[in-house]
Amino acid sequence: MTNPLRIALVGAGVMGRQHAARITQNSETELVAIADPFSSALADELHLPSFTDHQQMLKQISPDAVIIANPNDLHVATALDCIEAGIPSLLEKPVGCSVEEVRGLVQAEAESGVPILVGHHRRHNPIIQAARRIIQSGALGRITTFTALWQLQKADSYYDMAWRTRKGAGVLLINLVHDLDLMRHLCGEVDTVQAITSNAARGFEVEDSAALLLQFKNGALGTLTGSDACATPWGWDQNSGENPAFAQQPEQPCYLIGGTLGSLSVPQLKHWHYGESKGWHSPLIETADSHASGSALDNQLRHFVQVVRRETQPLISAADALQTLMLVEGARTAAALRQTVTLNNPA
Ligand SMILES: NC(=O)c1ccc[n+]([C@@H]2O[C@H](COP(=O)([O-])OP(=O)(O)OC[C@H]3O[C@@H](n4cnc5c(N)ncnc54)[C@H](O)[C@@H]3O)[C@@H](O)[C@H]2O)c1
């Protein structure tokens, strides 16, 4: 039997605690140390070595792998330190705060051969795996429209952490980056983006709301309307059941994907089509597709173990996550200039 993978954690906040819980529950992984300059609470609870400096932790502990869950603006520098030490990392989303800094990370990853898995964990959710299979099977025909919603009222106390109110955060980078990543994953690369953003509800330096118009390279059109200051039942976190900490609204969809032969609601996986006949006067037939059970974060950790053991390539590499970040940055530019932005990415 292979020894458990010795994993160290950088950043012991909300997400760090989620990762710690998963690592300790998985028989293939062992949490060996935690670095966080501002709190040793989690390390103390788990009776683990605690460090204020992750570099020191890497040197002293020599973990097999690292999970990075510190604030967004530290992601690239921390991941580069892991590459320098030759240690694979699972890097929380967003991969970084600017396209420019992430290009450097992509190059370092390629030159070193030390893999990075970016934490767009929803791609590991069995619902998304099933939705992607349905779309790729051709059951919806050619995708015409992709309507996405992520609208949630975050508690004001969430913003007590100052980094969440400043440049490097905002609903686009903290939340909508997940939806944009899934829109790419399910529908392909985006050609152009238009956007309007607003900070009117919270008044922070960064936006709390955004409305995006996307044109995919395959010709499909998409919209994403998102806000962290909005009391609605529509959003992956309320609808998917992925995180029980959110009040659940499982009957509501957050993605509506329309194609020439049929349509799909996510996360319900309700599939509508006309059957043998085709056209607006025929009754639409509704079927519900099934999906496997399982937690996205547990699946992500299992996949990370395989990546560290070089048994597979990362499902979301830094280069892949860069494309999602380019979309976020494109949306920001489009909103600031009130212009359509064309993304420079592969087909
Ligand atoms: N995948 C997801 O769904 C998801 C959900 C929430 C957050 N996140 C991401 O996880 C990351 C952390 O978010 P959070 O909500 O847990 O934030 P948080 O503020 O709760 O936690 C961040 C932690 O990092 C620590 N920290 C600050 N500087 C550090 C440093 N130099 N080295 C190590 N630790 C340092 C802080 O003390 C804090 O404990 C962010 O990048 C966020 O975007 C991902």
Q: Looking at residue 1, what is its pLDDT?
A: 62
Of all atoms in ligand 1, which is nearest to the CA of residue 178?
3
Given a contact cutoff of 8 angstroms between Cβ atoms, the answer to whether 124 and 299 are in contact is: yes
Given a contact cutoff of 8 angstroms between Cβ atoms, the answer to whether 215 and 190 are in contact is: yes
Q: Looking at residue 279, what is its pLDDT?
A: 79
CATH 3.40.50.720 in the chain is located at: 5-122+297-316
The set of protein residues with a Cβ atom below 6 angstroms from ligand 1 is 10-16, 35-39, 54, 69-72, 74, 92-93, 119, 121, 161, 174
Beta-bridge mates of residue 211: 196, 225
CA of 308 to the centre of ligand 1 (A): 22
DSSP per residue, 61-73: H--SEEEE-S-GG
Q: Looking at residue 347, what is its pLDDT?
A: 52
- Ligand 1, atom 39, lies closest to the CA of 13
d(CA 178, CA 315): 14
| Topology given in CATH for the domain delimited by 5-122+297-316 | Rossmann fold (3.40.50)
- Ligand 1, atom 21, lies closest to the CA of 13
CA of 253 to the centre of ligand 1 (A): 28
**Each residue of 226-282: pLDDT tens digit?**
999 999 999 999 999 998 888 899 999 999 999 999 999 999 999 999 988 777 888
Degrees, nearest 5: CA angle 90-94-99 = 115
9, 10, 15: which to mutate for ligand 1, most atoms within 8 A of CB?
A: 15
Q: Looking at residue 275, what is its pLDDT?
A: 83
Can you give the pLDDT of all 347 residues of the chain as single tens digits? 689 999 999 999 999 999 999 999 999 999 999 999 999 999 999 999 999 999 999 999 999 999 999 999 999 999 999 999 999 999 999 999 999 999 999 999 999 999 999 999 999 999 999 999 999 999 999 999 999 999 999 999 999 989 899 988 899 999 999 999 999 999 999 999 999 999 999 999 999 999 999 999 999 999 999 999 999 999 999 999 998 888 899 999 999 999 999 999 999 999 999 988 777 888 899 998 888 888 999 999 999 999 999 999 999 999 999 999 999 999 999 999 999 999 977 65
Q: Give the ranges where 119-215 is alpha helix by DSSP (H).
A: 126-136, 171, 177-187
CA of 116 to the centre of ligand 1 (A): 17
Q: Looking at residue 337, what is its pLDDT?
A: 97
CATH 3.30.360.10 in the chain is located at: 123-294+326-342
CA of 139 to the centre of ligand 1 (A): 39
CATH number for the 123-294+326-342 domain, one of 3.30.360.10, 3.40.50.1820, 3.40.630.30, 3.40.50.300?
A: 3.30.360.10
Q: By C-alpha distance, which of 112, 114, 121, 119 is closest to 96?
A: 119
d(CA 313, CA 221): 30
Q: Looking at residue 346, what is its pLDDT?
A: 62
